[in-house]
A and B are shown apart, each in its own frame.
Chain A
Amino acid sequence: KAGVTQTPRYLIKTRGQQVTLSCSPISGHRSVSWYQQTPGQGLQFLFEYFSETQRNKGNFPGRFSGRQFSNSRSEMNVSTLELGDSALYLCASSSLTGGYDQETQYFGPGTRLLVL
């Protein structure tokens, strides 16, 4: 099976712009989670989608939003970019067939966003 894919891999934007990142989960996986990773804060949870419904949301401002499509592909959007949004954005998918407690998350390679 192909792994989790994320596009684009690298992105440079300027302050005030908006950006959309895309994630294609492993075939058959219906749960997709998004994370922001920075050197100072480590990995921080953004949101989780399951079957097109947002199931959990982290402590990020409303400028961060996401959605999931019927084919389980997911997008996240960041509006009015700030310098502090520069980070590696990771997407992870899981099948949940083993139960929510034990599911393994499979991460994509991430999208590195630089805001100038």
Chain B
Amino acid sequence: KNQVEQSPQSLIILEGKNCTLQCNYTVSPFSNLRWYKQDTGRGPVSLTIMTFSENTKSNGRYTATLDADTKQSSLHITASQLSDSASYICVVKRGNTPLVFGKGTRLSVIA
């Protein structure tokens, strides 16, 4: 079954700290993996897209990694800010079929 599992479901960290969010997938055939950030009341915004041959990609303080052999990805947030409070959604594309979404990790950054 084509699935995307994310952990943890929720996370609370202090401002300035780093954190890592996890994504495991069983989607096949794999085309690419995306991380989205969704602020409350808004639509998701793309952070990174990685294909099979890429194992790391950065977007500012966000760094995504991909291990296509173990079918795992992580999103590392450095020096967190209050504005990082959001849901982070891992999404896998399977060939030319629609995207498969994880249920997201709810991150709260507190002062």
Contact = CB atoms under 8 A, between A and B. Distances in A.
A105 B36 CA distance: 10
The DSSP consensus for interface residues of chain B is loop
Contacts of B43: 4, 90, 92, 107-110
Given A42-B101, A56-B98, A101-B93, A107 B32 contact: no
B41 A109 contact: yes
Contacts, number: 45
B46 A104 contact: yes
A101 B31 contact: yes
Contact of A45 (B45, B49, B98, B102): B98
Nearest to B6: A42
A43 B89 contact: yes
A56 B95 CA distance: 12
Interface residues of A, number: 23
A59 to B, nearest CB: 10
Contact of A101 (B44, B51, B98): B51
Interface in A32-72: 33, 35, 41-45, 48, 56, 58
23 contacts: A4-B43, A42-B104, A43-B44, A43-B89, A44-B101, A45-B101, A48-B98, A58-B98, A90-B43, A100-B96, A101-B51, A101-B93, A102-B51, A104-B49, A105-B99, A107-B43, A107-B45, A108-B43, A109-B41, A109-B42, A109-B43, A110-B42, A110-B43
